[in-house]
Structure 1
Amino acid sequence: MTESIPSQAEVVAYLASPAAFGGETPVKHVETHGAHVFLAGNTALKIKRAVRYDYMDMSTLELREASLRRELELNAPAAPEIYGDILPITRSADGRLALGAEGEPVEWVLRMHRFRAEDELLTVATRGELTDAIAADLGRQIAAYHKAAPVRDLPGDQLIGNILAELHRVFAELTNDLPHAATGPVLGTMTAQLALLAPLLRKRSATRHVRRAHGDLHLRNIVLIGGRPVLYDALEFDETLGTCDLLYDVAFLFMDLCHRGLRRQATVTLMTWLTELEGSEDTGLAALPLFLAVRALIRAMVLVQTDRAAGTPGLSHGEAMDYINEAQQFLNPPAPVLVALGGVSGTGKSVLARSLAPRLGAAPGAVILSSDIERKARGTIPDYASSSRTAIYQRLFERARAVLGAGHTVLLDATFLEPQCRAEAKALAQEMAVSFCPLWLTASEPILVARVGARRGDASDADAAVVRAQLARAPDAADWTHLDSSGSPEMTLEAALSIIGSHLAG
């Protein structure tokens, strides 16, 4: 809720004028539920909105200054290209406002380097340019951010419990905007799931998974600078809200991507993030459905509160309801499945895996476990002709066991040339009591050689000689369903989906 707070109208009018930027450049004014941002030339000026919400108090000048200083402290290390300094707005003897001048501050401003609006990741995604490569790099950047985040000794179940209690309270006050019939069942399911997950969340707290993280990690808070995803605008106004389970932190991004129909990008980012953190987050995936749902409900709440603050109640009702419906879907995921993609190098296993992942399993999609990516992550020297691959397969099976146990579908992407590896994959599915769908991809030698020869920046190191050596071993995998992958990726995907659908239906 909000309350009556002294107006910032004079400050807003000043910052919206070219005078604040020392020139005649037109100024663009952007409003959010918690801030005013003013853009002109290469500069961005930001003030905190004078408002008090249940979860954020910016009602006094002192609180707004402290929040801006914390924002600079949190974000400058990860985004030095963006963050500059803190300046006061003062009033001169003639009554006019000035930026950075001597005198008693009437407001505080965070000065930043302006980036191009078209480089904001939401805009990039809207143009259809959020590629697999960018999504993978995003996973790496988030993992690096999380590795550097300070560990906090707070119980993960209590942190989520406090958020749920706040959601219960706030939505009870928003029934004119969002009826209890819509929010009540979702909140009830969340509460029940938290009770089941509490031991896991407490264990994660004890094993360094709760940290002072970003807290507001969605597409609008990521920008491409020099082609690299840069995280900015971390949550600064509440240290408790900014302290969370790492999986809850990244769940905001996955929820945002799913909401915008970008599940493929979400699965690529998830795969890379999990790999960069060396599988330490695999078992935690059991909490992801709850985390996604909480993030979706928070987004619905913020939309309604922003509409109220802007004097446009009901404007975002439709989208808020979409978030609530998505939260319910997140909380009811399908049963996990183990899908194995085998075949010699060049058959298109990795291409197929990335297309299948967003269509299978709990949101955002199946977890891809690739022998090539695992080998790269471990720094193992390529050796396609020796038993050195055994350790990689065992690591894939170990991680698959954890992910399946967490309730998420797994896509195993490896050659599976040895019968023993294929047998172990089947045994793993039986052990975990999940459906097993093995696909053996095939194509002619000329096609395979041409494909590996055309690879650039691929995780695989296979070349034409490797392909021919693999074919010479004449692997047959007679007990796996064969799939001709010599056609287009779209044709292969359609065929694979048909086989998997029939397998699960049967």
Structure 2
Amino acid sequence: MKHADVQALIQGNPRLLPEAQLVETHISWVLLTDKNVYKIKKPVDYTFLNFSTLEKRKFYCDRELFLNRRLTDGVYLDVVPILREDYTGVLSLGGEEGTVIDYAVKMKRLDSDRQMDLMLENDLVTMAHMEQLAEQLTDFHMSTEVVTAHPNIHSMHQDFADFLRVAPFIEKHWGADAALLLHKGEEHSKQVLKSLQDRIYERHLEGFTVDGHGDLHAKNIFLLEKPVIFDCIEFNDHLRKLDVLNELAFLCMDLDAKGQTDLSDGLLEAYNQRYICVNNGPDEKLFEYYKLYRANVRLKINVFKAMQLSEGPELDRQLVMVRTFLDLFGSYLNE
């Protein structure tokens, strides 16, 4: 599908999609209605995902449904076809008449006021929430599949170094010194992984590598009576199968980026009290490396979003996000 098709889908289904709000990411179109959410995958092909064919998008919609039901109850409802009526060309969501042109993941819409990133903006997130999240995450990590395939240090560094692809964009907007920071980070990654590779292998043998969430940041959490953690990575098993410390570092990094270092420290402490994942000095260094890597990832993703925008206020806001994670990356690197 193209953006124009999504607009036509909304306009052609006023009863099913009443006053639907369209939210666009670098890989998806998301339609928000009063009761439901419909997520449509863009036909994109990046180094870390491939949604380029209808068959692939159907496969990953099914994976998204299955994997996210591990952490949610009654939120991920179905995968529904998007059809084009053969004679009129009208698009419809669900049903049996017409040719399937795409698919959407159907979800229950939750209270947006309780989305964690918005609650953080309004200073509504407390240490009690961190304790709830720690409990839910430890229960999940101790019950999900333990990964048997051994860590690959070279592959870990390749994951880190992938962000060098956005260095030209960084240099264009903030100069050569800013781009050089990325190259310094890449060299730092080599050194840290070499020095910690024995501990990385030990942690794997101790069972810390699991089939986790993979994209654990505040926007993917609703702080309801029981927290709802949603939108895990379905498109790349490699990025979802990780050390629990790597998973936890993502959310802690996001809290740091929002100026909530106390909550970040509190989350790690609450998690470690329930499931000891930081045992020694090398574990602490590894946690700091994973936070650097996660700042790297958020920097890269926000650049991808910016590259899809034209000049204007929306691009200006996106560049602020890029700069936030560039600065955080630099602060971690210089610690």
TM-score normalized with structure 1 length: 0.60
Partner residue, 1:395: none
- 1:30-429 aligned at under 5 Å gives the runs 30-93=23-86, 94-102=88-96, 103-152=98-147, 153-155=149-151, 157-171=153-167, 175-177=171-173, 179=176, 180-225=179-224, 227-277=225-275, 279-283=276-280, 284-312=283-311, 316-333=318-335
Q: 1:113 to 1:267 in 2, by over 3 A?
A: same
In the TM superposition, 1:456-495 aligns within 5 A as none
The offset of 1:154, in angstroms, is: 2.9
- Give the CA deviation at 1:27: 1.1
Secondary structure in 1 aligned to 2:13? helix
Deviation at 1:186? 2.1
| 2:245–2:287 CA contact under 8 A, matched in 1 | yes
Residues 322, 92 of structure 1: alpha-carbon distance in 2 compared, 3 angstrom cutoff: closer
Q: Can you list the C-alpha shifts for 1:401-442, whole angstroms capped at 9, x where unaligned?
A: xxxxxxxxxxxxxxxxxxxxxxxxxxxxxxxxxxxxxxxxxx
- Looking at structure 2, the residues matched to 217 and 21 of structure 1 have their Cα atoms a distance apart, in angstroms, of 34
Question: So what's the TM-score if we normalise by structure 2?
Answer: 0.89
Deviation at 1:99, TM superposition (A): 1.4
**2-structure distance, mates of 1:297, 1:214:** 18
Amino acid at match of 1:54: T
Aligned partners of 1:330 and 1:65: how far apart in 2? 39
Q: Distance in 2 between matches of 1:37 and 1:10?
A: 14
Gaps of 5+ in 1: 1-6, 334-506
Provide Cα deviations, 1:258-293, integer angstroms capped at 9, x if missing partner: 00011111122111111111x243332330111111
Q: How far apart are 1:166 and its partner, in Å?
A: 2.0
Give, in whole Å, the separation in 2 of the partners of 1:159 and 1:172: 23
**Equivalent residues of 1:159, 1:244 under 8 A apart:** no
- Contact (CA 8 Å) 2:161, 2:186: kept in 1 or not? no
Change (3 A) 1:104 1:327: same
What is the aligned length?
Answer: 324
Three-state SS of the structure 1 residue aligned to 2:227 is strand
Write the distance in 1 (CA, Å) between the matches of 2:152 and 2:121. Answer: 34
CA contact 2:220–2:229 (8 Å) conserved in 1: yes
Q: Distance in 1 between matches of 2:316 and 2:46?
A: 18
AA matched with 1:255: M
Quote the RMSD (CA, aligned, Å). 2.1
Structure 1, residues 95-134: CA drift from partner, whole Å, max 9, x if none? 2111112143101011100011101111111111101111
Q: What is the DSSP-based 3-state SS (H/G/I as helix, E as strand, rest coil) of the residue aligned with 2:48?
A: coil
Gaps of 5+ in 2: none
SS at match of 1:215: coil
2:213 is paired with a residue of what secondary structure? Answer: coil
3-state SS of the aligned residue for 1:228? coil
The structural deviation recorded for 1:77 is 2.4
